[in-house]
């Protein structure tokens, strides 16, 4: 069973990682092509492309020009520790044991606009490039066309290594759209998290993001490899809702 997560916009490269081991991302030859493309943009154009403020565009303009291979522990950081958004607050990887990191390295993948697919301990350098960015490139008009089936094929290899053809989709729709279901050699199970508001259960973005990290943590800590066992998830008062669930969409409410 393989878990997929989205990356995060928020990064922390100042605080040292608790993980001792590290690995190299597998798709940096493709990342370099994107970096080369991004370096051709002026700051104003980058702001328009990324739909961000000038200050954020300036920051990432500098990041793209500083981005440089090879990665090492001095100029990069493990992905699982570098990302600090809501999902990663739920994941709490800083509390992982060596056993947890080893399990995560095999069973968790982080989708990325720049890196394609990352293992938790893959080193990365600071960046911001959302998968939905309409970056014109030699392969097409956006990052979905750039990555094509590269991401799906990489996930297939990881799924094969787990020995169980189940993909637990804890990524946002923006990122999971990069996967080609016709090429993916796995059944997709999507946990959905809803909170009660005014008498109705709704997906509230900030809570759902945290819950995706919590579910990832639950799977890693308990080394779950059977999708039927996902219904036991009960972190932060979430409970399995059988009436709202179906075979491929498992709903948790609180």
Segment 126-170, tens digit of pLDDT: 999 999 999 999 999 999 999 999 999 999 999 999 999 999 999
The confidence score (pLDDT) of residue 78 equals 98
Q: Is 163 left (phi over 0), alpha (psi -120 to 50) or beta?
A: left
Query: How much is the pLDDT for 2?
Result: 98
Rounded Cα gap, residues 116 and 124, in angstroms = 12
The count of structural domains within the chain is 1
In three-state secondary structure terms, 57 is helix
pLDDT at 32: 98
pLDDT for the residue numbered 87: 98
How does 216-238 read in b/e, with b if 16+ C-beta sit within 10 Å? Answer: bbbbbbeebeebeebeebebeeb
d(CA 118, CA 79): 7
Burial 89-113 (b: 16+ CB within 10 A, else e): ebbebeebeeebbebbbebbbbbbb
Domain that holds residue 55: 2-253
Model pLDDT, residue 44: 97
Q: State which residues of the chain have pLDDT below 70.
A: none
Q: Look at the pTM and tell me if it is higher than 0.95.
A: yes
């Amino acid at each position: 069973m393989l878990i997929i997560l989205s990356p995060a916009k928020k990064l922390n490269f100042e605080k040292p990682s608790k993980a001792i081991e590290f690995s190299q991302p597998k798709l940096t030859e493709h990342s370099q092509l994107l970096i080369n493309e991004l370096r051709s943009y002026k700051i104003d154009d980058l702001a328009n492309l990324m739909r961000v403020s000038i200050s954020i565009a300036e920051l990432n303009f500098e990041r793209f020009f500083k981005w440089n291979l090879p990665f090492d522990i001095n100029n990069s950081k493990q992905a699982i520790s570098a990302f600090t958004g809501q999902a990663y607050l739920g994941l709490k990887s800083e509390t992982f044991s060596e056993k947890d990191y080893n399990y995560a390295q095999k069973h968790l993948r982080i989708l990325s606009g720049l890196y394609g697919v990352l293992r938790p301990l893959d080193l990365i350098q600071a960046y911001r490039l959302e998968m939905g960015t309409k970056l014109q490139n030699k392969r097409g008009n956006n990052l979905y066309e750039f990555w094509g089936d590269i991401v799906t094929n990489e996930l297939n290899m990881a799924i094969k290594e787990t020995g169980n053809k189940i993909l637990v989709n804890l990524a946002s729709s923006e990122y999971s759209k990069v996967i080609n279901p016709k090429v993916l050699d796995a059944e997709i199970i999507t946990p959905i998290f809803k909170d009660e508001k005014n008498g109705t259960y709704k997906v509230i973005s900030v809570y759902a993001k945290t819950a995706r990290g919590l579910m990832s943590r639950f799977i890693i800590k308990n080394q779950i490899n059977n999708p039927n066992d996902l219904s036991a998830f009960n972190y932060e008062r979430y409970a399995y809702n059988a009436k709202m669930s179906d075979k491929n969409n498992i709903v948790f409410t609180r």
